[in-house]
Amino acid sequence: MTASAAHRLLSLSAVGALALGLTACAGDADQTESPAAVGTASTSPASEGTGSAAPTPSPSPSASADQEPSTVAVYEDFACPHCKDFHNGVGGFLASVAQGGEAEIDYRIVDFMGQGDDESWSTRAANAFYCFRDTTEDTQLQHDYQTQLFAAAPAGLSDQQLVDRAGLLEVDIADCVAADGGSDQIEAALTGMSEDGVRGVPTMVVDGTVYDPESDGDVIDWVLEQANLSDGSA
């Protein structure tokens, strides 16, 4: 796949100050430093090659009975170290929300750092993730595969290793990976970034509202409030 004009313009516009003030990855820079971190959940790193991240204490959310589930869009890049920290800290909570059906967790994986380079880890990992997600609706397996992709960074995995890791979870993505089956979804996620006004990753958007750590505080509390979820503590 090749980077579209919109893709290139988005990447160029991201260089500089981030819209959210996050510790985040932006454009072709390795990372952008900021005093504000994403959330306050535990960020114990995952062990490479394992199927799941270290346990993260988090609420067991439940939605109000009469409400439509919210959509929680999560923009990430598997080549972004801050996205890895975010996944290890908040991913378990998001997985529990997805499994319970309290809200729709829409992972919008981009190749922001790879700039559309077919050979980059950013692009190949994003492609493999979309292939995996299109093959299984099991959100826990999707979470486990994400964990493995983040754990493999920055060196990354070969395409065959990406397929093999999925195979260990009993998900066959070989044909899809070979055909760049996730390329359209990568472009759609980049378009979504532009439409949402997102300039760096990781970023969360709940029903169109973008998380701002400078004013919104703890990211898990913010998601619970924005999506009208109960934390189960009452």
pLDDT at residue 11 above 60? no
Residue 197: inside a domain, yes or no? yes
**Rounded to whole angstroms, how far apart are CA atoms 33 and 177?**
33
pLDDT value at residue 47: 34
Residue 97: inside a domain, yes or no? yes
Residue 53: inside a domain, yes or no? no
Query: Dihedral sign, CA of 213, 216, 221, 222?
Result: negative
Token pair, residue 129, equals 């993730």
- Contact between residue 48 and residue 91 where contact means Cβ atoms under 8 Å apart: no
pLDDT value at residue 40: 34
Domain holding 114: CATH number?
3.40.30.10
Give the pLDDT confidence of 75-124 residue by residue, as tens digits: 999 999 999 999 999 999 999 999 999 899 999 999 999 988 999 999 99
Is the pLDDT higher at 142 or at 50? 142
Token pair, residue 182, equals 């996730």
Q: 215 lies in which domain range?
A: 5-33+68-230
Query: What is the number of domains present in the chain?
Result: 1
- Contact between residue 62 and residue 185 where contact means Cβ atoms under 8 Å apart: no
Residues 6+ apart with CB under 8 A from 40: 218, 219, 220
pLDDT bucket at 58, cuts 50 / 70 / 90? very low
Residue 25: inside a domain, yes or no? yes
Residue 10: inside a domain, yes or no? yes
Least confident segment among 57-66, 128-137, 186-195, 198-207: 57-66
Dmax (CA) for the chain in angstroms is: 51
Q: Taking the mean position of all CA atoms in its chain, how far away is CA 91?
A: 8
Residue 43: inside a domain, yes or no? no
**Rounded to whole angstroms, how far apart are CA atoms 58 and 143?**
15
Token pair, residue 113, equals 């750092």
User: Which amino acid, 118?
Assistant: D
pLDDT bucket at 24, cuts 50 / 70 / 90? low
